[in-house]
Amino acid sequence: MHELLNTIYTLDLAPFALSFKLATITTLILFVVALPLAWQLSQSPSKVKPIIESLVSLPLVLPPSVLGFYLLVAFSSFDLAFTFKGLVVASCFYSLPFMVQPLQGGFESLNKNMIESSYIAGKNKWVTLFRVALPNIKPALMTALIITFAHTVGEFGVVLMIGGSIPDETRVASIAIYDLMNNLEYGKAHIYSAIMLLISFAVLLSVYIFNHKQKYFKGVRA
Amino acid sequence: MIALKINKALCGAKGEMNLEVDLKIKQGEFLAISGESGAGKSTLLRILAGLEKADGEVIVNGQNWKDVPVQQRQIGFVFQDFGLFENMSVEQNLLFVSNNKELANELLNITQLSELKRRKPNTLSGGQKQRVALARAFMNYPKILLLDEPLSALNHEMRLKLQNDILALHQRFGCTTLMISHDASDIYRMASHIIVMELGKVIKEGTAKEVFSTNTSHLNGEVLEVQKDKIVVLIGQQLIELKVSKDKQFNIGERVEIQANF
């Protein structure tokens, strides 16, 4: 017991801080990039749409090592390998579908006539996006933001290939657990893993509670 | 003056068809469009609004609207499912179109929505939503008003009131109005002209009187019930029980023509 408390007191929380910093920055960048992309995809009847959709969804099916390999090749000329910036760029590619898909799905489920009413009222695509479309897809927006955040926190393969394990630079929580395992420090690995498990569960729970409330209150609010 | 000459391939309920309409509508006219569902009525309004493309041309007051985007057409459109902005209150729905509070208040008064102006659309009844959509359609002083079955969700009393409101607004704003409707009373009271469409073509055109009362001694009805020696027929909104000879066969749902001999 004493040993456990001691381990908790001396626990290095830097990998968690780094994970959250990476996830926050990635989520913000992806929101800015994915919002117009998802909006255009949802409104476009274009023939190239399936090609763009496939490209966006690639990270869902590609082995992280394939993405990591190509990114490393690309990074060699930009000095980004094994840096925090490199991790941010890699995470943006890797988590792109988690931001785009819920937003696009939300936009596509909107009443078409509501969007058209905004055009008829003389508003352009962007005013319509920010004042009509986005405020009406709050559950999808919430899902996109939180799942992107959580997915970035949970990244492992790509981060390992791109960033390695440099303390305070690229050593995020998932990598730290892997290192602890390799060093046979099971006590710490247990605690790190438990923290990750709890945080992931809390994040998902908050999304589902929020979306449940949105649906429920939409029906009964007077 | 609106001159429409359009052609568009449509996938209707009865397979592929061509929407082919050649139509001239005078400035300030109130035109009713009638016809079975799937005849291309809504598509016609959507093409005029610039929401759908079609071959041919749409000329409004001498200007070709081919390259005029929907935003610049200055149109009022009441959709069948209203298309209200769910995130905004009733009043905000109107002010989103144009920030003219005076006009918004006037329209809310006419449509008896002032009490409900802070409510969100999802808390309103179908008839109330319809009135919001109607009020909103006038917020940009439309040159052309397009109504897709604007009175279908209303009870009789509200329907009569809204017929008057639409007529009053139509006259006040002087907009050319196209209204899709199946209801003879709406059309008779409001429209100066009517076209009937079938499978993408205009099959009848004229005043309501000309189109609806082709033969005053004939009534068209639908058989609702078949008994031994009598049938129940629906004519308009009225049920009539008729004695029939036993050797004649009737089926439920069959359309029948009844001749009155006085």
Q: Read off the pLDDT of residues B233-250 as tens digits, 9 standing for 90 and up.
A: 888 778 888 888 877 888
Q: Which two tokens stand for residue B40?
A: 């291309």
Residues whose CB falls within 8 Å of the CB of residue B194, separated by 6 or more in sequence, listed in order:
B31, B32, B33, B34, B187, B204, B205, B206, B207, B208, B211
- Structure tokens given for A140: 């999808």
Check residue B124 and report its DSSP letter: S
Q: Could you report the predicted ipTM of this complex, rounded to two decimals? A: 0.83
Same domain? For B97 and B141 the reply is: yes
The reported pLDDT for the residue numbered B1 is 86
Neighbouring C-beta atoms of residue B185, cutoff 10 Å: 16
Residue B252 belongs to domain with CATH number = 2.30.30
Kindly compute the dihedral angle of the four CA atoms of residues A92, A93, A97, A102, in this order, to the nearest 10 degrees. Answer: 20
Q: Are residues B241 and B168 in the same domain?
A: no
Query: Is residue B208 located within the same domain as residue B244?
Result: no
Which of B49, B84, B120 lies closest to A120 in CB terms? B49
**Residues B242 and B124 grouped into a single domain:** no
User: Is A132's Cβ below 8 Å from some Cβ in B?
Assistant: yes
How many angstroms separate the CA of residue B121 from the nearest CA in chain A? Answer: 10
Q: What angle do CA B254, B258, B262 make, to 5 degrees?
A: 165
* B246, B130: one domain: no
- Report the gap between the CA of A217 and the closest CA in chain B (Å): 11
CATH number assigned to the domain comprising residue A125: 1.10.3720.10
Contacts of A124 in chain B (CB under 8 A): 71
Point out the least confidently predicted range of A9-23, A120-134, A169-183, B236-250.
B236-250
Distance CA B124, CA B116 (A): 9
Distance of CA B233 to the CA centre of its chain: 26
Q: Do B85 and A120 touch (CB under 8 A)?
A: no
pLDDT, residue A222, reads: 34
Give the residue with greater pLDDT, A45 vs B15: A45
CA distance A33 to chain B (A): 24
- Is B219 in contact with B257 (CB distance < 8 Å)? yes
Q: CB neighbours of B69 closer than 8 A, spacing ≥ 6?
A: B50
Region A101-116 average pLDDT: 96
Rounded Cα–Cα distance for residues A64 and B226 (Å)? 71
Are B130 and B233 part of one and the same domain? no
Contact A116 B77 (CB under 8 A): yes
Indicate yes or no: CB of A113 within 8 angstroms of CB of B79: yes
Query: What pLDDT does residue A221 have?
Result: 41
Does residue A145 carry a pLDDT above 90? yes
- Is some CB atom of chain A closer than 8 A to the CB atom of B97? yes
Separation between Cα atoms, residue B103 and residue B120, nearest integer Å: 20
Question: Are B109 and B236 found together in one domain?
Answer: no
Cβ-based contacts of A119 with chain B (< 8 Å)? 51, 70-71
Backbone angles phi, psi at A128, to 5 degrees: -60, -40
What are the C-alpha distances in Å from A34 to residues A23, A31, A37, A56, A91?
15, 5, 5, 10, 14
Q: Are B127 and B7 in the same domain? A: yes
Q: How far apart are CA B131 and CA B113, in angstroms?
A: 8
Question: Chain B residue closest to A120 (CA)?
Answer: B71
Indicate if B64 and B98 belong to the same structural domain. Answer: yes
Domain of residue B161 covers 2-212
What does the mean pLDDT of chain B come to?
88
Q: Are B83 and A131 an interchain contact pair (Cβ–Cβ within 8 Å)?
A: no
Both B198 and B153 in a single domain? Answer: yes
Which of B51, B76, B140 is facing A116, going by the closest CB pair? B51
By C-alpha distance, the chain B residue nearest A118 is: B97
For residues A142 and A2, which has the higher predicted lDDT (pLDDT)?
A142
Q: Which two tokens stand for residue A203?
A: 């994040």
| Interchain CB contact of B233 with A (< 8 Å) | no
Of A123, A132, A135, the CB nearest to B71: A123
Q: Return the axis-axis angle of helices A64-75 and A84-108, rounded to nearest 10°.
A: 130
**A218·B122 Cβ contact <8 A:** yes
Residues B171 and B225 in one domain: no
pLDDT digits (tens, 9 = 90+) for B176-215: 999 999 888 888 889 989 999 988 899 988 888 788 765 5
The pLDDT confidence band at residue A35, using thresholds 50, 70 and 90, is very high
Within 8 A of B77 by CB-CB distance, chain A residues are 116-117, 120
- Is B217's pLDDT higher than 70? no
Domain that holds residue A190: 2-220
* Residue of chain B nearest A112, judged by CA positions: B83
User: What is the domain count for chain A?
Assistant: 1
Ordered alpha helix ranges (H), chain B: 41-49, 90-97, 101-110, 126-137, 156-173, 184-190, 208-212
Chain A hits for B73, CB-CB cut-off 8 Å, are 120
The DSSP secondary structure of A177-221, one letter per residue, reads HHHHHHTT-HHHHHHHHHHHHHHHHHHHHHHHHHHHHHHHHHHH-
Q: What is the mean pLDDT of residues A92-104?
A: 96
Looking at residue A206, its amino acid is S
> Residue type for B102, please?
E
Give how many domains chain B has, as a whole number.
2
Chain A: closest CA distance from residue B61 (Å): 19
User: What residues of A are in contact with residue B120 (Cβ under 8 Å)?
Assistant: 221
Chain A to chain B, count of Cβ pairs less than 8 Å apart?
65
Span B94-107, pLDDT tens digits: 999 999 999 999 99
Instruction: Return all residues near B136 (Cβ < 8 A) that are at least 6 apart.
Output: A117, A121, B76, B84, B93, B94, B97
Residues of chain A neighbouring B49 (CB-CB closer than 8 A): 116, 120
Is the Cβ–Cβ distance between B76 and B138 less than 8 Å?
A: yes
Shortest Cα–Cα distance, B94 to chain A (Å): 10
pLDDT of B54 above 60: yes
Is the per-residue pLDDT at A148 higher than 90?
yes
CATH code for position B60: 3.40.50.300
Between chains, do A121 and B70 touch, taking CB under 8 Å as contact? no
| Whether residue B236 sits in one domain with residue B152 | no
Residues A111, B120: C-beta atoms closer than 8 Å: no
Name the residue of chain A whose CA is nearest to B72's CA.
A122
